[in-house]
Amino acid sequence: MIIGSGDIGLIMARRLTLSGAKVEAVVEIQPFPSGLTRNIVQCLNDYSIPLYLSHSTLRIIGRDRVEGVEIAPLENGAPRLEKAFTIDCDTVLLSVGLVPENELSAHAGISLNPVTNGAFVDSTLMTSVPGVFACGNVLHIHDLVDRVAGEASRAGDSCADWLEGAGSGKKRAEVPLKAGANIRYTVPSTIDPESKTTVCLRSMVMLDRGILKIMRGGAEIYKKSLKWVRPGEMISVEIPAGTLGVASTAGEPFEISLNAAGEGVK
């Protein structure tokens, strides 16, 4: 049995099945899967492996070896003990998410985001320590290596510019970017509205169709339609230079939010 529906656990469910093991179930405490939709389809649905959403693991049964796992459905965040049941199994795998390793960053005095456990970065991917840049899973957890490569390329270009002296002259006018309604976090945490910026974010809700908005001082200054929004799938939005106006607006931060478009939040 696999506890948690992260991508690594989903892929392991498929590999174990192909190797001859019987995967009894995947149990997820959230009301939605943590992994990519394609992994749910290819690793669970294609092999008829049950996925129990909104279920909590109560105990692992067995002394000298695993004999089973007792789980129960959740209601308002609490397990319904009267509906608990046991899944017989001899092995338990945990797939409960990744955490960026940032001990080196902490020792260097880099400010860390408590939500992502990665560094706070500006639109060039530079951290709070000048000349130190972050990208990939040390910054925030990615779904696809393609996006890691793209982010690494941006960080490399920014670092090269900084070393050549572009970062030692006039300071970029960075404006704070806040996570608003239904947004768990954004990377970067500050942006330069006069330069092209790639913003990565995670949704807190499931939407078939959504509207992403960026507000400043109560005014809507950017809007984008999104399809098939899932918390387990990172959203990447490229904002052209000048789209968000200019930096000086009495110090007002940008706020990015996500809401349903015609359909309710699931």
Q: Are residues 114 and 230 in the same domain?
A: yes
Q: Are residues 159 and 43 in the same domain?
A: no
- Total domains, the chain: 2
- Structural domain harbouring 65: 2-94
End-to-end CA distance of the chain: 27
Q: Assign 184 to helix, strand or coil.
A: strand
CA–CA distance, 37 with 33 (Å, rounded to integer): 8
pTM for the model stands at: 0.82
CA–CA distance, 232 with 143 (Å, rounded to integer): 8
Q: Are residues 66 and 123 in the same domain?
A: no
Could you tell me the CATH number of the domain that includes residue 36? Answer: 3.50.50.60
Q: Are residues 39 and 66 in the same domain?
A: yes
Largest alpha-carbon pair distance within the chain? 66
Domain contains 142: yes
Provide the β-strand partners of residue 100: none
Q: Are residues 149 and 194 in the same domain?
A: yes
Q: Are residues 79 and 23 in the same domain?
A: yes
Average pLDDT over residues 87-108: 91
The pLDDT-based confidence of 265 (bands split at 50, 70, 90) is: very low
Given 94, 117, 150, the domain boundary residue is: 94
Domain contains 47: yes
> What's the confidence (pLDDT) of residue 218?
86
Which pLDDT tens digit goes with each residue over 155-189? 999 999 999 886 555 556 789 999 999 999 999 99
Q: Which residues make Cβ contacts (< 8 Å) with residue 71, sequence separation at least 6?
A: 27, 52, 55, 56, 57, 58, 84, 85, 86, 87
Which pLDDT tens digit goes with each residue over 130-155? 999 999 999 999 988 999 999 999 99
Among 173, 130, 167, 144, smallest CA distance to 236 is for: 144
> What's the confidence (pLDDT) of residue 167?
54
Q: Which amino acid is at 49?
A: I
Q: Are residues 29 and 110 in the same domain?
A: no
Q: Are residues 45 and 148 in the same domain?
A: no
